[in-house]
Amino acid sequence: MKQYQILVIGGDGIGNEVTAWGKRVLEEIGSLYEHPFAFDTALLGHAAIEATGSPLPEETLRKAHGSDAILFGAIGHPKYDNDPSLKVRPEQGLLGLRKALGLYTNIRPIKLFDELLNASSIKPEILKGADILFFRELTGDVYFGEKARKDEGKTAYDVMIYSKYEVERIAHKAFQAARRRRKIVHSVDKANVLESSRLWRETVNEVAMQYPDVELHHQFIDSAAMLLIKNPRMFDVILTGNLFGDILTDEASQIAGSMGMLASASIGDSTGFYEPIHGSAPDIAGKGIANPLASILSVALLLEYSFGMKKEAESVVEAVEKTLKEGYRTIDIADNNTPKEKILGTKAMGEQVIKILQKIV
């Protein structure tokens, strides 16, 4: 019987707090469906810098390459956010790992559970039925272009750069996904200003010729940001670059109710990488109130994409849905009508999901 090797990297802040529950859900799925899941852990980000001096230690890289899937939390620490002069930074660990694993496709589903219609600051009638799948390119763009200072440090630059093959490979993924959905792709760029965006647009048009059954629209990033809030239901698949995708998906989290609800899958050449889209949230770290559902929903993506376990993935999503149906909320997704006793901390929310999971499987 195949043994599944899963690497768990909690990272920093609430990354550790929520990933503990993602892992617990994986263990539960392993025992309910009798899958031999084996776990290992590794350091990344601030925790890794503290322990080894590097945000991405050799050992983490080795374990990552040797695993079948990775469940990640978040990295980041206020020490670095408050001091831009620090040269060794937690984010370098995450970016380095994404690059090393060739994780060029970051899939971020914006799934609005009906129970959370009132948790968002957007009107329910605008939101109802919204269902968007983001394809964010993850190993290129201004994140990985040359960056430096000149003029004795008084000028700085970051090069925004894309090569055709980088656009092609993620565009194919987006069109293929659209075929399984409502067959609409919105490609988001800034082609009215940026040369790299003109290459992006040109390449997406070429790829689109192979998918005549899929409707393609081009949208500038500024208007896309506006339309996402004005009429989220108009979108099906959104295809975009690294930076624009980072920004738009944080915005889109408000469609789903909270940053604490958005999961993601990063897919590339080999090992899949699964993480909530949120960060280490220093404002709530250590308080035991972080929403673990984004991590738990990332586990559903891991089961489906890396292990092909569709039934198991569906049961995780169903357990989350039932937990919400029974009225349980963490504070970030509670509304004025949520009774006090139904507002749970991270641990109690994780336990509820597991209890329901045990009932439905």
Q: Which residues sit at the interface with ligand NAD, rule CB under 6 A?
A: 14, 18, 74-76, 81, 91, 94, 259-260, 275, 278-284, 290-291, 294, 332
List active site positions. Answer: 143, 190, 222, 246, 250
Smallest distance, Å, CB 91 to ligand IPM? 4
Report the distance separating Cα 302 and Cα 151, nearest Å.
Answer: 46
Answer for which of 168, 246, 251, 321 binds Mn ion (CB under 5 A) is 246
The residue sitting closest to Mn ion, measured at its beta carbon, is 246
Q: What DSSP assignment string belongs to 33-66? A: TT--EEEEE---THHHHHHHS-SS-HHHHHHHHT
Q: What are phi and psi of 97, to 5 degrees?
A: -70, -40
Whole-angstrom distance, CA of residue 162 vs CA of residue 160: 7
Q: Could you say whether residue 301 binds ligand IPM (CB under 6 A)?
A: no
Q: Is residue 277 within the footprint of ligand IPM (CB under 6 A)?
A: yes
Q: For 236, which DSSP code?
A: S
Tokens of 97: 């790992």
Return the number of the residue (294 or 296) whose C-beta is nearest ligand IPM: 294
Show the binding pattern over residues 206-245: x = contacts ligand IPM (CB under 6 A), - = does not. ----------------------------------------
Min dist. Cβ of residue 78 to ligand IPM (A): 13
Instruction: Determine whether the annotation assigns residue 284 to a binding site.
Output: yes
- Which residue type occupies 187? S
CA distance 22 to 37: 13
Question: Which pairing describes strands 4-11 and 69-74: parallel, antiparallel, or unpaired?
Answer: parallel
| DSSP letters for 238-256 | EEE-HHHHHHHHHHHHHHH
Binding residues for Mg(2+): 222, 246, 250
Which residue ranges make up the site for ligand IPM (CB under 6 A)? 76, 91, 94-95, 246, 277, 279
* Residues placed in the known binding site for substrate: 98, 108, 136, 222
